[in-house]
Amino acid sequence: MTRRRGVVATSLAVLAAGLVVAGCGGGGNKGAANLNFYIFPEPSGSFEKAAKTCSQQSNGRYTITVNTLPSDADGQRQQLVRRLSAHDSSIDIIGMDVVWTAEFATAGWIKPWTGARAAQVTQGTLPVPIKTATYKGRLWGAPANSNTQLLWYRKDLVKTPPKTWAQMLAMSAALAKQNKPHIIEVQGRQYEGLTVWFNSLNASAGGTIIGPTGNVTLGPPATRAATIMKTLASGPAADPGLSQAQEDQARLGFESGNAAFEVNYPFVWPSAQENAPKIFKNMGFAPWPGVDPGKPARVTIGGINFGVGGYTKHPAEAFAAASCLRNTANQKLYALKGGLPPTLNALYDDPSLAKPYPFKDLIRQQLNSASVRPQSAAYSDISLAISKGLTPPDAINPKTIVSSLSDQIKKAQDSGALL
């Protein structure tokens, strides 16, 4: 979950109200427009609460119904792709993973945000989340929440958190020699999380995966990224289940007490507080480790952007509702109730977030320098090619990784990838 920026609430309300009025009665329909909002199953109920509030505040212009998608990102995309490729007009608002922008825009499955609507979205929003919603110079989504991984560590085992992966591996080895907990929990299964790990390392080493023209740009930074992954996976720092580990397995591994470090999203903080209070007592957080000393990491950004369905019968109302769903009040709700980092800059200065989000300044810092995964209509196949080429991590060959991944990414690009 992935992981801003302060428009004054009254300004948002005025703008949103203006957009609603402009779209009032769109298509000649009478009464409230019934809008279907498709989003991942967020367990706290924050999306349902926001939908109810926005419906009430619309004064009868629209009513939002929340429809939950499958729990995994691949299942979410698959359901939406099948329905949108059939021109399903019942999909009005979509909670889009940040990596779907190029694909959905290219296929015509979402409508662009233009004019006053685009200005409202971009005002006060952190720039990298906006970048995830932008494709070929146009804005295709409204960033509603973001996400970024942090480094979590045991303060009773590590006095000062490592600044680089090399330092962390050395600390792990030293703890292992003392027969102390020393595992570094990461995501090593063949899925999107493995691609994220590689992308963050590659970007932190100064590399990119795809250039502005779509050309594959892997080089020496990719070799360094692969070397780090191989070293961890084949050494004492690896969890025995690393090749099957996703975010939740990494969380559980850290909470079990066998790990000294964990690279994961902020959801692990309240989880440890509830499920492993002894571990939580000594749980610290720090920036994601860099690759080069003195150079901060560029961690892969995650999050959800709200898009308007390409075939909706109520576009004006859908844009107004999406604007309301990601306004200041609702982003604060998502943060406090659902643990979802906001995209509005001003919320990171809100005092009410200080206690539940003691790491909020660190999240903002990392979001401002975050890396974006390849923006391509074929991203789904590109990610699959990367994760396949890195599986299992302990068998990676850093010497051939650039050529092998480059070949597979080029084949993925040729696939078209819309399904």
* One domain, residues 318 and 267: no
Torsion of CA 293, 294, 300, 303, to 10 degrees: 140
Q: Look at 27-31, 75-79, 189-193, 384-388 and tell me which has the smallest mean pLDDT.
A: 27-31
Domain boundary among 331, 351, 368: 368
In a domain, 2, yes or no: no
Asked if residue 55 has pLDDT above 70, the reply is yes
Asked if residue 13 has pLDDT above 80, the reply is no
Residue 415's CATH number = 3.40.190.10
Question: What tens digit of pLDDT does each residue of 315-344 get?
Answer: 999 999 999 999 999 999 999 988 899 999
In a domain, 118, yes or no: yes
Higher local confidence (pLDDT), 157 or 3: 157
- Residue 280: name the closest of 148, 154, 149 by CA: 154
pLDDT for 15 equals 30
* One domain, residues 191 and 97: no
Q: Any idea which residue has 């690009």 for tokens?
A: 413
Asked if residue 18 has pLDDT above 70, the reply is no
The proportion of the chain whose per-residue pLDDT surpasses 70, expressed as a percent, equals 92
Torsion of CA 34, 39, 43, 47, to 10 degrees: -50
Task: List, in sequence order, every residue forming a beta bridge with 302; answer none if it has no partner.
Answer: 147
Domain boundary among 368, 385, 405: 368
Question: Residue 30 — pLDDT band, cuts 50, 70, 90?
Answer: low
In a domain, 3, yes or no: no
* One domain, residues 153 and 295: yes
Asked if residue 60 has pLDDT above 60, the reply is yes
In a domain, 49, yes or no: yes
Torsion of CA 329, 333, 335, 338, to 10 degrees: -160
281-306 average pLDDT score: 97
CA atoms of 363 and 345, how far apart (whole Å): 11
* One domain, residues 42 and 105: yes
| Domain interval for residue 412 | 149-300+376-419
In a domain, 292, yes or no: yes
- Measured in whole angstroms, the distance separating CA 107 from the mean position of its chain's CA atoms is 22
Residues 6+ apart with CB under 8 A from 1: 145, 147, 265, 267, 302, 303, 340
Residues 6+ apart with CB under 8 A from 64: 35, 37, 51, 52, 54, 55, 93, 321, 325
pTM of the predicted model, to two decimals? Answer: 0.88
* One domain, residues 185 and 116: no
Instruction: Specify whether the CB–CB gap between 120 and 323 falls below 8 A.
Output: yes
Three-state SS sequence of the chain: CCCCCCCCHHHHHHHHHHHHHHCCCHHHCCCCEEEEEEECCCCCCHHHHHHHHHHHHCCCCEEEEEEECCCCHHHHHHHHHHHHHCCCCCCCEEEEEHHHHHHHHHHCCEECECHHHHHHHHCCECHHHHHHCEECCEECCEEEEEECCEEEEECCCCCCCCCEHHHHHHHHHHHHHCCCCCEEECCCCCCHHHHHHHHHHHHHCCCCCECCCCCECCCHHHHHHHHHHHHHHCCCCCCCCHHHCCHHHHHHHHHCCCEEEEEECCCHHHHHHHHCHHHHHCEEEECCCECCCCCCCCCECEEEEEEEECCCCCHHHHHHHHHHHCCHHHHHHHHHHHCCCCCEHHHHHCHHHCCCCCCHHHHHHHHHCCECCCCCCCHHHHHHHHHHHCCCHHHCCCCCHHHHHHHHHHHHHHCCCCC
pLDDT for 50 equals 98
The mean pLDDT value of the chain amounts to 91
- Residue 63: name the closest of 31, 41, 95 by CA: 31
Task: State how far the alpha carbon of 153 is from the alpha carbons of 201, 230, 269, 278, 280, in Å.
Answer: 19, 21, 11, 13, 10
Asked if residue 25 has pLDDT above 90, the reply is no
Domain boundary among 368, 384, 411: 368
In a domain, 21, yes or no: yes
* One domain, residues 307 and 252: no
Strand 134-135 and strand 150-154: the pairing is: unpaired
* One domain, residues 156 and 271: yes
* One domain, residues 205 and 260: yes
* One domain, residues 123 and 155: no
Question: What tens digit of pLDDT does each residue of 125-162 get?
Answer: 999 999 999 999 999 999 999 999 999 999 999 999 99
* One domain, residues 124 and 164: no
Give burial (CB, 10 Å; 0-12/13-18/19+) of 318: buried
The proportion of the chain whose per-residue pLDDT surpasses 90, expressed as a percent, equals 87
Asked if residue 26 has pLDDT above 90, the reply is no
Question: What tens digit of pLDDT does each residue of 182-213 get?
Answer: 999 999 999 999 999 999 999 999 999 999 88
In a domain, 418, yes or no: yes
* One domain, residues 324 and 249: no
Asked if residue 9 has pLDDT above 80, the reply is no
Q: Look at 5-19, 115-129, 243-257, 396-410 and tell me which has the smallest mean pLDDT.
A: 5-19
In a domain, 105, yes or no: yes
* One domain, residues 233 and 338: no
Give burial (CB, 10 Å; 0-12/13-18/19+) of 392: middle
Question: Residue 31 — pLDDT band, cuts 50, 70, 90?
Answer: confident
CA atoms of 388 and 195, how far apart (whole Å): 9
Number of domains in the chain: 2
Strand 302-309 and strand 138-139: the pairing is: unpaired
Give burial (CB, 10 Å; 0-12/13-18/19+) of 99: buried
Asked if residue 21 has pLDDT above 70, the reply is no
